[in-house]
Structure 1
Amino acid sequence: MIVAIDGPAAAGKGTIAKDLAQQLNLAYLDTGSLYRAVGHAVLKAGGDPDTDADARRAAETLDIEAIDPVAIRTREVGAAASKVAAKPDVRAALLETQRRFAHHPPEGKAGVVLDGRDIGTVVCPDADVKLFVTASDEARATRRWLELKQADPDLTVGDVLADLKERDRRDSERASAPLTKADDAILLDTTDLSIEAAIHAALDIVGRR
């Protein structure tokens, strides 16, 4: 069973996907972490996320087992991830990794939950269930600000909102696998939902499918 969950940053798709996988006993892959890891690798090597060669090199040599889940969650890495994710060579390098995980789940699992921005449209267009998780710009900015403010006390909601809007623009306008809702995906708007309610709604959708 393949559950594809797409949507913009800070809409809640990662939390929903992780909880779904746990409750349904499915394997889970945060595909956004792969692009964050590539962006982080470029920055760590002193490269430029806007440079094709630097981004491609980092993607082709990425070691999934070595990804630092804390280091890739900074504001700077998020911006770099959005830039490298727009590059066709990077997406091509990571596509097979994602598909292999989806069709050959680890640990003998009976299926997978993948979250990202092009799972239902490109990575797994044959997914059994597709969700597109979204929320208002203001709600997403507030959520992300709450995540980042401890590490960056000077950060404002306005700063985060500007970053999110720029990332949305890059993700939606890129030529390769742009962020878009699959025709057969079910929309889940989490703007006015608690995380518990959003997870319950997602479970209901999967159950009905």
Structure 2
Amino acid sequence: MHVDIFTDMTKQKITIAIDGFSSTGKSTIAKALAKELNYIYVDTGAMYRAVTLYAMQNNYISSDSFNPTQLINDLDKVKLSFTFNETLGFAEMYLNNTNVEKEIRTIEVSKLVSKVAAISEVRKKLVSEQQEMGKEKGIVMDGRDIGTVVFPDAELKLFMTASADKRAKRRYKELIDRGDNVNYEEILHNVQERDRIDSTREDSPLIKAEDAIEFDNSDMGLKEQFERVMTLVKDRL
């Protein structure tokens, strides 16, 4: 009788942690892996973006002001959830029972999210929720501190990187294709500023876990990336 070795292996559930800089394609690879493995996919960046959107809606943060105390006092009112969209093939972000998937992907949110993500109380709340989601393994999670803080014992850790210029061009194309009115220089500045804030914040800075595999995809297409990562996944399984 023929046995599909890979199908048999995937019965063993592992945790896949993907960290890295903004616009390195973490979510794209994570979604593809989750679909191939029939795992749960969690975009932690969407969670921080949703909290940022909440702060913006309540005038706690803007381009020239930020009152973290007000946001911290309001965190119990921030309810986050993911709901799978069968048409799109992935889960969308909901903030207090409202679909905010489109709103959280704007350049306005991108400019402010790193400031919100640097708040220890915000990180504590979201890390706790993320760890609860992954208790049973069989999960692919991407973000900034997944392999170092959320799942330090993950069986597979990837650290994705690419040049700032390549990342800015990807982000620019994504926003233009969506119909947003943006310019490249603004996107590049945002990418560089987010790198600076994410890497230097006091609480859970963006760093490569000691046992993570660095993955530079500056000159790599999606198909090649996926095939290389799947090889690593099969090795762990």
TM-score (norm. length: structure 2) = 0.82
Distance across 2 between alignment mates of 1:10 and 1:33: 13
CA distance in 2, matches of 1:54, 1:165: 28
Corresponding position of 2:51? 38
Please name the residue that 2:119 is paired with. Answer: 87
Aligned to 2:134, the other structure's residue is in SS state helix
Mapped partners of 1:60, 1:174: distance in 2? 24
Matches of 2:32 and 2:74 in 1, distance apart? 30
Could you tell me which amino acid in structure 1 is paired with residue 70 of structure 2?
D
CA distance in 2, matches of 1:136, 1:43: 30
C-alpha contact (below 8 Å) 1:40/1:80 kept by paired residues: no
Once residues 156 and 144 of structure 2 are traced to their aligned partners in structure 1, the CA distance between those partners, rounded to angstroms, is 15
The answer to whether the aligner puts 1:151 opposite 2:179 as a matched pair is: yes
1:152 Cα shift? 3.2
Is contact 2:157-2:212 (8 Å) kept? yes
Greater share of strand:
2
Report the secondary structure of 1:193's partner residue. Answer: coil
Q: Which amino acid aligns with 2:18?
A: I
Distance of 1:160 and 1:166 partners within structure 2: 10
> Which structure's CA Rg is the greater one?
2
Decide whether the 8 Å contact of 1:38 with 1:58 is kept in 2. Answer: no
- Matched residues in 2 for 1:118 and 1:60: separation? 22
Deviation at 1:48, TM superposition (A): 1.7
Q: What is the total number of aligned residue pairs between the two structures? A: 203
Cα distance, 1:57 vs structure 2: 4.0
| Structure 2 counterpart SS, 1:81 | helix
Amino acid in the other structure paired with 1:51:
N
- Cα RMSD of the aligned pairs, angstroms, is 1.4
Residues 1:191 and 2:223 are matched in the alignment: no
Contact 2:19 2:143 (8 Å CA) reproduced = yes
Counterpart check, 1:208 vs 2:235: yes
Alpha-carbon spacing, 1:206–1:48, altered in 2? closer, same or farther (3 Å)? same
Aligned AA (1:48): I
The answer for unaligned runs of 5 or more in structure 1 is 105-109
Q: Gapped runs of 5+ residues in structure 2?
A: 1-13, 82-93
Structure 1: distance between partners of 2:212 and 2:74 = 32
Give the C-alpha shift of residue 76 in structure 1.
0.8
- The equivalent position to 2:192 in structure 1, one of 165, 169, 180, is 165
1:75 and 2:102 correspond:
no
Cα deviations by residue, 1:55-84 (Å, 9 ceiling, x for unpaired): 324543222233311110001111221110
Higher helix share: 1
